[in-house]
């Protein structure tokens, strides 16, 4: 990371590394959801959703994480942020509409919000210095 003035500049190689790290974290979280849905659902608290839903979400997260690792580009970061942001919004809606699944929906929204924010940060830094 180079420093210009007082703001750090993320070089393209650093942006790729950050996206790969974010992708690895997402893939690991997805693998936990896909392979250990009962354990992960219990951590979220409340009434767990149907396990097939937890597994499908986990598989989607693994696929997205692998894509972010394999193709660390600003467009992939933005696409991942949109997918995670959409998921977070849908889980907030589910939490509002369903008392039964409120806690796991909010936990899922929080995780998706974190990954979406991380991906947007990577995208913003990579896009602002495309050839730095």
pLDDT of residue 9: 46
Give the integer Cα–Cα distance in Å for 68 and 7.
26
Could you report the per-residue pLDDT of 98-131, keeping only the tens digit for each? 999 999 999 999 999 998 888 888 877 777 765 5
* Cβ-Cβ contacts under 8 Å for 16 (sequence gap 6 or more): 72, 73, 126
pLDDT of residue 57: 95
* Domain residue ranges of the chain, discontinuous segments joined by +: 2-128
Backbone dihedral angles phi then psi of residue 2, each to the nearest 5 degrees: -95, 160
pLDDT of residue 59: 97
Q: Tell which wins on pLDDT, 45 or 57.
A: 57
pTM score of the predicted model: 0.82
Give the integer Cα–Cα distance in Å for 44 and 33.
11
Distance of alpha carbon 18 from the chain centroid:
13
């Amino acid at each position: 990371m180079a420093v210009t003035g007082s703001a750090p500049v993320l070089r393209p190689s650093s942006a790729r590394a950050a996206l790969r790290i974010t992708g690895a974290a997402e893939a690991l979280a997805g693998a936990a959801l896909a392979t250990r849905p009962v354990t992960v659902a219990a951590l979220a608290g409340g009434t767990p959703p149907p396990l097939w839903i937890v597994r499908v979400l986990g598989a989607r997260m693994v696929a997205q994480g692998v894509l972010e690792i394999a193709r660390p580009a600003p467009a992939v970061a933005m696409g991942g942020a949109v997918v995670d942001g959409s998921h977070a919004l849908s889980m907030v809606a589910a939490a509002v509409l369903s008392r039964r699944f409120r806690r796991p929906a909010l936990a899922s929204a929080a995780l998706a919000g974190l990954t979406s924010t991380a991906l947007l940060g990577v995208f913003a830094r990579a896009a602002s210095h495309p050839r730095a």
